[in-house]
């Protein structure tokens, strides 16, 4: 996820609760931006959508990336406007600064292997 491009992240299907738009609405919008007629705008969108979540986090925490110029001010303003105490705000900043390390330390769940044929057979026997 952290090495996934912004374009791929934002192209995911929208929630099924939003019935006004088609599921692939975001993907359509991104493709429209990537195929913009104006070459200058298209280059900007291609650069933004090719950057990863990791690049975005690095920009917020100090490593400046031209395509994300201004994002750090938005981030700081959002943190300042929270109706929480200072300790909570510090914890959010610490989490974002260490996001990559925290994600890499996570252990994935063990997937329980089931024998589908055995499962099907057991379920069929219940209906006799």
Q: Which of these, 24, 27, 65, 31, lies nearest to 46 by C-alpha position? A: 31
pLDDT by residue (tens digit) across 83-92?
778 888 788 8
Q: Where are the chain's structural domains?
A: 6-126
Per-residue confidence (pLDDT) for residue 21, from 0 to 100:
82
Per-residue confidence (pLDDT) for residue 124, from 0 to 100:
55
Average pLDDT, the chain: 78
Q: Is 104 exposed, middle or buried (0-12, 13-18, 19+ CB in 10 A)?
A: exposed
């Amino acid at each position: 996820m952290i090495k996934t491009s912004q374009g791929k992240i934002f192209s995911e299907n929208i929630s099924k609760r939003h019935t006004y738009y088609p599921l692939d609405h975001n993907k359509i919008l991104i493709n429209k931006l990537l195929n913009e007629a104006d070459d200058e705008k298209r280059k900007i969108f291609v650069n933004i959508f090719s950057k990863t979540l990791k690049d975005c986090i690095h920009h917020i925490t100090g490593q400046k990336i031209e395509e994300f110029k201004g994002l750090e001010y938005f981030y700081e303003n959002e943190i300042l406007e929270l109706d929480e105490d200072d300790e909570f705000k510090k914890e959010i900043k610490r989490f974002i600064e260490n996001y990559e390390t925290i994600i890499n330390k996570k252990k994935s769940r063990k997937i329980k292997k089931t024998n589908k044929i055995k499962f099907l057979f057991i379920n069929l026997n219940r209906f006799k």
